[in-house]
Amino acid sequence: MTAPHPSAKFIRMTDSVSPAPESPAPPRLSWSATSRLIRLQNQTGTWLLMFPTLWSLALAAQGVPPLRLLAIFIAGSFVMRSAGVVLNDLADRAFDRHVTRTRVRPLASGELSPTHALLIVGLLLSVAGMLVLLLDPLTMLLSPVAVLLAGLYPFAKRVIHIPQAMLGIAFGWGTIMAWTSSRGDIESPAWCLFTATVFWAIGYDTIYALQDREDDRLIGVKSSALLFGSSTWIAVGVVFCAMLLLLGLAGWLVHIGWIYYAALAAVGVWCLKQALQLREAVPPPTAFRMFQQHVWVGAAVFIGMIAGFLI
């Protein structure tokens, strides 16, 4: 009987051994993942944070704000919004894995690690700190509140039924800082702008939350879209009315011209149309487009302010 060839024996032995499973590669910091983490491709949130600060700068200056302050607050809006979304994703990564729209975010999917997120936040807040150092002492004293509010917002949806109000407070704080950087004090129009921003954010972020209403209900996350339910269109209409009344009061306090009120009236008609649209269920893509359109609301109010002083 002929003995088997040694190579045939080797082949049979290797065939019977299954390869060891490969361990998943550890998360690596990359520009692609970082840009998606800070929503670089979608700057709607930056605009919505920035415009209230521009309102405040324009009213405080009673016209075109100083270019230096404009540059600081535009850059600061981008940096702080970027830091805010990273903090939000860091806090919500466990929730995000169960929401269709957010499960692909870099932290939820494991593409980036919490350590990466903390490094990115640290860098962004360092840049924000350098920008604040260019401002007056009172504004520098107020700046830690902005960081605190940005850190608290992600946890609001675990505690209160209208976490959108906390977002509005965080965004509105920029109006206070912008006013003090111009005037060196906090005056009544600044508080009107702050409160108007809170109401505005409740409105547009409730529309945004309509995208995730069913997922939020399943995982137990609180949301104004869930709280208001079928009355969402009424609630959104009410908060938009409150926003416009407070913006009108802020303008009246600084004796702005009539064209500003014409701009507010036009914005009011548009907001009413949007609120009425919510009487029927809107699909997520429509809700997102409606949310994005509020950038134009911010722009219209800002242009109206400038025109109200110059024309």
User: What percentage of the chain reaches a pLDDT higher than 90?
Assistant: 81
CATH of 42-310, one of 3.30.479.10, 1.20.58.100, 1.10.260.40, 1.10.357.140: 1.10.357.140
What are the residue boundaries of the structural domains of the chain, listed by start?
Answer: 42-310
pLDDT band at 6 (very low <50, low <70, confident <90, very high): very low
Task: Give the mean pLDDT of 95-104.
Answer: 87
Predicted local distance difference test score (pLDDT) of residue 94: 87
Tell me: pLDDT of 245 over 90.
Answer: yes
pLDDT band at 214 (very low <50, low <70, confident <90, very high): confident
pLDDT band at 17 (very low <50, low <70, confident <90, very high): very low
SS in 3 state form for the chain? CCCCCHHHHHHHHHHCCCCCCCCCCCCCCCHHHHHHHCCCCCCHHHHHHHHHHHHHHHHHHCCCCCHHHHHHHHHHHHHHHHHHHHHHHHHHHHHHCCCCCCCCCHHHHCCCCHHHHHHHHHHHHHHHHHHHCCCCHHHHHHHHHHHHHHHHHHHHCCCCCCHHHHHHHHHHHHHHHHHHHHHCCCCHHHHHHHHHHHHHHHHHHHHHHHHHHHHHHHHCCCCHHHHHHHHHHHHHHHHHHHHHHHHHHHHHHCCCCHHHHHHHHHHHHHHHHHHHHCCCCCCHHHHHHHHHCHHHHHHHHHHHHHHHHHC
Least confident of 15-24, 184-193, 225-234, 273-282: 15-24
Q: Which residue has the higher pLDDT, 139 or 92?
A: 139
Predicted local distance difference test score (pLDDT) of residue 20: 46
Predicted local distance difference test score (pLDDT) of residue 124: 97
Tell me: pLDDT of 101 over 60.
Answer: yes
Tell me: pLDDT of 11 over 80.
Answer: no
Predicted local distance difference test score (pLDDT) of residue 8: 45
Predicted local distance difference test score (pLDDT) of residue 25: 63
pLDDT band at 34 (very low <50, low <70, confident <90, very high): very high
